[in-house]
Amino acid sequence: MQIQGASFQANRLQSYEAARQKNEASDFLTTQAQVMRSSDLKPQNHSTGAAGYDFSDMTPQQALDASQDLYQSGQISLEDNLKIGMQALLALHSPGVNQNETLDFVALFRGGIEGADSRGESRHAGQLQSALDAMLGNQKSSTLNTWS
């Protein structure tokens, strides 16, 4: 049996790439599962208790914690929790992102809605809008921005 070098290398590269992508997906899902299982997530500095959260100025970890807290208290749906959590996890696992730097998750979701609309993905835009509405419904009143 003879293996041609170029074909063997291409197959090997494809196998490596598939394994890398599977590993990244597994890391992402493992992190999300750990967050979902955590029963002691408490609001931190990003919370004002009953007044809400400031989703326009949170680190990715704070957004994860806030989303989980809101879900556990019944203030947002599982779907909205997953959308907010996924955006936060993507930020946590993105190369070059400082995990301690705050992000404007409201602006990120608005940008996502605009992008989905521009691509004709109305279902995705609607899902993002639902999560944005959930964030804004639990937003500190002093930080609400109008959507134009």
Measured between alpha carbons, how far is residue 102 from residues 56, 67, 72, 91 in Å? 8, 15, 23, 10
Q: Is 80 exceeded by the pLDDT of residue 32?
A: no
- The torsion defined by the Cα of 35, 131, 146 and 139, in degrees rounded to 10, comes to -40
pLDDT at 38: 47
pLDDT band at 50 (very low <50, low <70, confident <90, very high): very low
- pLDDT (tens digit, 9 = 90+) per residue, 60-119? 999 999 999 999 999 999 999 999 999 888 888 888 878 889 999 999 999 999 999 999
pLDDT at 118: 96
Measured between alpha carbons, how far is residue 20 from residues 24, 45, 114 in Å? 6, 36, 31
pLDDT band at 44 (very low <50, low <70, confident <90, very high): very low
- For 10, the 3-state DSSP assignment is helix
Model pTM greater than 0.75? Answer: no
Is the pLDDT higher at 55 or at 25? 55
pLDDT at 34: 58
Residues 6 or more apart whose Cβ sits within 8 Å of residue 94:
none
pLDDT at 41: 42
pLDDT at 21: 62
pLDDT band at 2 (very low <50, low <70, confident <90, very high): low
Helix (H) or strand (E) holding 79: helix 78-92
